[in-house]
Each structure stands twice: as structure tokens, then as C-alpha cells.
Amino acid sequence: MNTRRLKNYLIAYLLLAPSIIFLGVFTFYPILYSIWTSLFTRISGNSLFIGLGNYIEMFESSEFREVLKNNLIYAVFSTVPAVLFGLILSIVLNSELKGRGFYRFAMFYPTILPIATASMIWVFLLSQSIGFVNHILDKIGIASGIDWVNSSPYAMVSIIVVYIWKYSGYYMLLFLSGLQSIDESLYEEAYLEGANVFTRIRKITLPLLSPTTFFVVLLAIVNSFQAVDQIYVMTKGGPHNSTNVLLYYIYEYGFVYWDTGKASGASSVLFLILLTVTFFYYFGLQKTVNYER
Amino acid sequence: MKKERTILLVLLSIILLASPVLAAGQSEVSNESEKMTLRFFFPIGTAGNLANIMTNLCNEYSEQNPEVSIEAIYAGDYVQTFQRTLTSSRAGNPPDVAVLTNADVWTAVDEGIATPLQTFIDSEGEGFLDRFFPAMLDDCMVAGEYYAIPFQKSTHVLYYNKDMFREAGLDPEKGPETWEELVEYCQALTIPGERYGVEVPIDFYYMAVFILQNGGTINNTDGSETYLDTPAAIEAMQYLKSLVDAGYMPAKRLYGDSSSDFVAGKTAMMYNSSGSLAFVRDSCSFDWGVCYLPAGKERIAPTGGGQFVICQGISEERQKAAWDFIKWMTEPEQAAEWSIGSGFIAVNPKSFDLPVMVEYNNNLPQALVARDQMEYAMGEYPKTHNCRQIAQIMSTTFESIMAGISEPQAAMEELQKSCDSILNKYR
């Protein structure tokens, strides 16, 4: 009996071994190593231990504080609309509608595009002099000659618009799969009882969709802290740092300035932020999620 | 039975995953024994079939020197090329030759991955460096010592729309000569809301150019100190800000944006790299010309681009072979071939006498303006330790001055302070 159990354990560990090794080598070890690296600074190719010096310098610099602020703005204003938009789209496109498949595809297709390509397309769409967006805005008389990616605060708006355009289709898809697991008969019953569309959404759809919403929101928040490619392509963090966010800051310090200490420090900060958000989100909100079906 | 199969499967997948690593280790050994293969990392800033031209050049070299073959490896843009050079050097597998931009040559030296070249230069005898335009050698030095050899260099010129000049009653054969004239020309050429008079790329490079033209200095030779809060520097920024305030110039453009604005007729003039000549020629529907950059207190033509670096951590024999390859690449014929294919200025003035080059310049006479301007040329600034970071905060400051977020004086003082805090550990 006991040997059999031991064997079972052994096999379980053996099967887990590849993923544990990979996680160890590519996740846990780098996390610890980057925390260690953040305690050093490099001068002319030599490492020098400076304790928390990098962190102190970072939090004292207006650049880093601005980066944190930008990231917060970006996270809030990209996550909320993208999730809401995805939710509304999914509810609309879950109902009986002519050409439903086409609309679903049309909304989903930005997800398939590589983000670098998508960003480049938007750079052209948003060009001040030859861009389609300004052309349309000018025609309907809302605004003219906005220098989207080159001036603040429009640069941030541009990046947020691209995020929403790129991701809401994906969130829609996730919501759709959640919606399809809700029992039709609940709606029928509510309908017979005289509940209107909004009451049905509020009383049936939203509560039963909450596990999906829970997951999508977490995904969206994490995504918004991982933004770097579209910033690299569209603005390079500019103008005057107004679109510089944490991950781009890390990239610049790490792989352009080769200040590995600062970059590692910023990575640790990002890691802490994501850990905190995930922790509170997970343990704080999980109780409100309705897993009943 | 079933369990054994699973275990077997797991072991098999581990072996499969590990095999590329093992294979990579083996191929390394077999290369070394037969003939010498030099690994050469090169960047391409602009698009096109430049990678093919480069491969052809390298093959040509191997044909003439059968004992050596050159493996030309396209490594992305300048930043990415340096990333690969540094990381492979750190991993003990450095390329033999790399083309790096000035800022990264400084970092390469600081990180100890670039070989000093003075002994090679001396071994060629007196006057070897005379084969290059003198200004191009500026970017090859770190704190007064040679670490690089010029390869793909460009200068910057003023492009202007001759049709718009005629329309505004200006002489289409003559661009603005001085800063004052530039203002007058802008006044005549700007149509508010429709087209700008001029576009200047707003980045560290042009911040340096305007400060130098105004008689200022960017940094000391050691690269440990900047002079960005001097009256000359502040004045230069005020001058450009006044162009933005008057509506003659947009608050922010970069090189690509400017070129597309220029060919679309959204600006009458632009400051841009000579590397854009071919693009402008192929995309313009109007009559256009180029001239020297307008002079401030001084006439200064900036240059930029990439230079050859020989890496550390390779055998002396390989370093010698690498030096020989570099020498060959900068002979008149090869310099001409690369110049014609890429649009960079040939680094060897003798190239311009070759028939192929004469023919090329007949088709693109504007390219000769770029060559003649080399008389006033200067290297790319800033030239400091942590150069990329200094450059980035210069760009950021420049942007915020032009956008009206901060006043020139205060912003430049702040900038100088930031530079001090970055550089004081090198003093």
C-alpha cells in the first residue's frame, strides 16, 4: 500500500518535472536574480553594490513618478472601456441578429493582427497631415489638425484607443462563451413574468456571467501593465515622457541604456504592483462571484 | 505498463527539448577547424534590399580571400544590433565585427567589449586615416582614442520645394543661408493651417546641431560633463521655440514624419538626413532641391551613422582578419558600391572619382551637395558615457520646450542637472 503511494507521488512529480524546471529556470530564478541585480549599479562595466540606491534614485526622480502616473492612467482608461465595450458587444451579438457571424468576426479580427502591425496602421490613420482620422474629424467639423501621436495628451489617447480597438473583440469572445453557458429557460421565464430587457440583463446575465467578468477584468488589468509593443512602435514613450509606462521604462533602462540595476529595480516594482493587485482582487472579490449555475 | 509508457514519454520529451542546445554546441566546433569564418553584425536603419547588397559585398571579399569567409548577420536597427553584440559578447560568443552607432561605441568601450584600434592604424603606416573624410573620424573616438572605423555615414541637408519657392517669389536655386534668412523664408512660405514653412526633427541630434551652430559646446572630450545650460544652448532653444510660436514649424516631428509631410506638400522645407534623398526623389511630384543647413554663428553640418568595431574576446588572428576586412570595405570601390546601394555618403573621398559614382551622382545631383557640405562637417553629439540615456533626456527636454510645457531656460538648467547626476560617477 505504502510503496504504491510512493510510486504515485514519484510519478506525479516526474510528470510535473518539466514544467517545474521551466518555471524555475525561466520564472522563479529570473525574479530572484533581478531583485538581486537591482541592488547593484554599473560603472564602466563593473558592478558596485549600492543597496537600495537604485530604488531611492528612482522614486526621487520625476521621470519615474511620471511613468507610474502614466501607467495608472493607461490602466484605468484602457481596461474599463475595453471590458465594458466587450461586454456590450457580446450581449448584442449573442441575440438573434442577421449577419451575426460577420459582426462577430469583424469585432474579433483586430485580435488576430500582430500588435506591431496594428500600431503601425494606426500611426498612419492618426497622422496629422495625411491621416484618415483627422480627415473624418475635419469633414464632420469636430476638430481639425490634431497632432495625435506627437502631442500630449493626444498621444496617450491614441495609445488607449488602439488598446480598446485591439482587445475589446477578444474580451467579447470570452464573454460570449460565458453567455452561451447561461440557461435559455431563465430568460424565457423572466420574459413571461414581464421583466424587460434591462431587468433581464441586470438580474440574470450579469450575475451568472460574473465568473467570466472576474477573469476578464483580471486579464485586462494585467494586459494594461504589459503594454510595451504599441508604445515602442507609436510613440517611444514620447512626447516628453507622456506615454512612457513601466514596461517601456524597464526596456529602455535595461536594453538601451544598459543600466541593469535600475531596470531590475523597476521590474521588481512592477512585480510587486501586479502581485498586490492580483492578491487583493483575487481574495477580495472572489466572494462576490456567483459560481451557481 | 501504462505508467512505464508515460515515463518513457516524459524522458523522450526532455531529450527532444535539450537536443537543439546540444546541436548548437557541436556546430560551433566544426566551423573553427577548416577556414576562418568571421561573424559580422550589421544594422540597417532604413528599409530596402540592403541586406542583399551587404551579402554580395561579403561574398566578394571571400572570393578574393579564400582563407576567410564573412558571415554577414542582419541584426535589426542600431539599438538591436548593439543589444545582440553586447549580449553575445557577455555570453562568450562575440561577433568579430559589428557596425555600431557613436552612442553605442561609447557603451561598448565602457563595457569592455570593443578593441582599441591604434595599433592596427599604426601598422598601416602614416596617413592611413587620410582615406576618410576627417569629420567622420569624430565618431570613431571614445575619450580621444580610436575604437572604430567609419562605414555608413550620412549628413543632414535642408530639402526645399522649388515650386513653393517660385510661388512665394523666392529664388528656387538658393535656400536660406542663415538662421535669420530661415525665419524670413518661413514667413514667406507658411500658410497657416495648411502648410508649415519648415520641419525640424525634434530629438537630441538636432538639439545638439542647433547648439553647436550657435557657438555652444555639448560635452568635454572625456565624455564626463555636458554644457547644456550655457547661454548659447538656451538661445538656440529659444530660437527654435520662436519658430514654433510663430506657426512656422510643428512642435514635434521626427525623420519619417517630416519626409512624408514634405512629399505631401505639407511643409515647404525640411531638415533631414541625406539618407532620404532617394525616397524624396522617388516620391516627389514637384521640383525640389537641397542646400546646406542654414548657418548660425557657425556653419556646421552634422553627420551620423554607423562605424566598424572589432570585438574583444576573439583571438589575435581573428582580430587581424577582421581589420583586413574593414580595410577592404572602406576602399574606394567598396565604399562606392555601398554608397550607391544604400544612399549613405561614401566614406572614402576617392570613391567620388569612380565612373559608377559619377554616373550615380548625375542621376541624383543633390547627393553632391551632401558631399560638398562635408567641409563643414562634425560628428554626432552627445559623446559621453551613458550616451543613450543622456540623448534620451535631451530629446525629452527638447520636446517639452517645443510643446510649451517648460520654458527654455528652466528646462535646460534642469537638463544639465540630470546630466550631472548621471555623469558624476565618471568624473
Do the Cβ atoms of A208 and A293 come closer than 8 Å?
yes
- Check B396 against A252: CB less than 8 A apart: no
Mean pLDDT of chain A: 88
In chain A, the residue whose alpha carbon lies closest to the alpha carbon of B406 is: A240
Q: Residue B106: count other Cβ atoms within 10 Å of its Cβ.
A: 25
Rounded to the nearest 10°, the torsion over CA A24, A29, A30, A32 is 140
- Check B251 against A258: CB less than 8 A apart: no
**pLDDT for A270 beyond 70:** yes
Tens digits of residue pLDDT in A48-57: 899 899 999 9
B chain contacts of residue A251, beta-carbon cutoff 8 Å: none
Q: Where are the alpha helices (DSSP H) in B190-306?
A: 204-213, 231-245, 255-263, 277-283
CA separation (Å) from A83 to A18, A154, A159, A223, B215? 35, 22, 16, 12, 55
**pLDDT score of B24:** 47
**Amino acid symbol at B119:** T
What domains lie within chain A, and their CATH numbers? 56-288 (1.10.3720.10)
A chain contacts of residue B385, beta-carbon cutoff 8 Å: 44
| Closest CA of chain A from B397, distance in Å | 7
**pLDDT score of B26:** 44
Burial class (CB in 10 A: 0-12, 13-18, 19+), B163: middle
**pLDDT for A5 beyond 90:** no
Q: Residue B239: count other Cβ atoms within 10 Å of its Cβ.
A: 18
A237: left (phi over 0), alpha (psi -120 to 50) or beta: left
**pLDDT score of A4:** 83
Locus of grid cell 553632391: B368
CA angle B77, B83, B86 (to 5 degrees): 135
**Digitized pLDDT (tens) for each residue of chain B, 427 residues in all:** 455 666 656 555 655 555 544 444 444 444 445 689 999 999 975 545 778 888 899 999 999 999 999 999 988 889 999 999 999 999 999 999 999 999 999 999 999 999 999 999 999 988 899 999 999 999 999 988 999 999 999 999 999 999 999 999 999 999 999 999 999 999 999 999 889 999 999 999 999 999 999 999 999 999 999 999 999 999 999 999 999 999 999 998 888 889 989 999 999 999 999 888 888 988 899 999 999 999 999 999 999 999 999 999 999 999 999 999 999 999 999 999 999 888 889 999 999 999 999 999 998 888 899 999 999 999 999 999 999 999 999 999 999 999 999 999 999 999 999 999 999 988 8
pTM of the model: 0.84
Residue of B395, B397, B403 lying closest to A152 (CB–CB): B403
Rounded to the nearest 10°, the torsion over CA B306, B393, B260, B338 is 0
Residue of A129, A151, A152 lying closest to B261 (CB–CB): A129
Q: What is the DSSP string of B49-64?
A: SHHHHHHHHHHHHHHH
Locus of grid cell 457580446: A90
Locus of grid cell 522563479: A28
Instruction: Measure the CA–CA gap between B299 and B135, rounded to whole angstroms.
Output: 14
**pLDDT score of B23:** 47
Compute the average pLDDT of residues A222-239. 89
- Check A18 against B405: CB less than 8 A apart: no
Pick from B274, B272, B293, B256: nearest CA to B346: B274
**pLDDT score of B173:** 92
Rounded to the nearest 10°, the torsion over CA B396, B402, B406, B410 is 80
Residues in chain A whose Cβ is within 8 Å of chain B: 7, 11, 14-15, 17-18, 41, 43-45, 127-130, 144-145, 147, 150-152, 238-241, 252-253, 255-259
Q: Provide the 8-state DSSP code for A142.
A: S
**pLDDT score of A279:** 87
Instruction: Measure the CA–CA gap between B106 and B136, rounded to whole angstroms.
Output: 16
- Check B252 against A147: CB less than 8 A apart: yes
**pLDDT score of B30:** 44
**pLDDT score of B194:** 87
- Check B400 against A129: CB less than 8 A apart: no
Pick from B199, B371, B147: nearest CA to B277: B371
The residues, any chain, with a CB within 8 Å of residue A213's CB and separated by 6 or more, are A83, A87, A175, A178, A206
- Check A144 against B403: CB less than 8 A apart: no
Compute the average pLDDT of residues A164-168. 92
- Check B400 against A239: CB less than 8 A apart: yes
In chain A, the residue whose alpha carbon lies closest to the alpha carbon of B84 is: A255
Residue of B10, B261, B266 lying closest to A15 (CB–CB): B10
What domains lie within chain B, and their CATH numbers? 35-153+304-372 (3.40.190.10), 155-302+379-426 (3.40.190.10)
A/B interface, count of CB pairs below 8 Å:
83
Question: β-strand B36-42 against B68-74: which pairing, if any?
Answer: parallel
Q: Where are the alpha helices (DSSP H) in A151-228?
A: 154-179, 184-192, 197-200, 206-225
**Amino acid symbol at A123:** V
Helix or strand (DSSP H, E) at B36: strand B36-42
**pLDDT score of A74:** 94
**pLDDT score of A293:** 45
Compute the average pLDDT of residues A227-244. 89
**pLDDT score of B31:** 47
- Number of helices (H) and strands (E), helices first, in chain A? 14, 2
Give A289 or B401, the one with higher predicted confidence: B401
Q: Provide the 8-state DSSP code for A255.
A: I
**pLDDT score of B49:** 73
Choose the weakest-confidence range: A171-175, A262-266, B179-183, B280-284: B280-284
**pLDDT score of B11:** 58
Q: Provide the 8-state DSSP code for B311.
A: B
**pLDDT score of B8:** 58
**pLDDT score of B376:** 93
Residues in chain B whose Cβ is within 8 Å of chain A: 3, 6-7, 10, 13-14, 17, 79, 83, 86, 107, 110-112, 193, 250-253, 257, 260-261, 264, 266, 385-386, 388-389, 392, 395-397, 399-400, 403, 405, 425-426
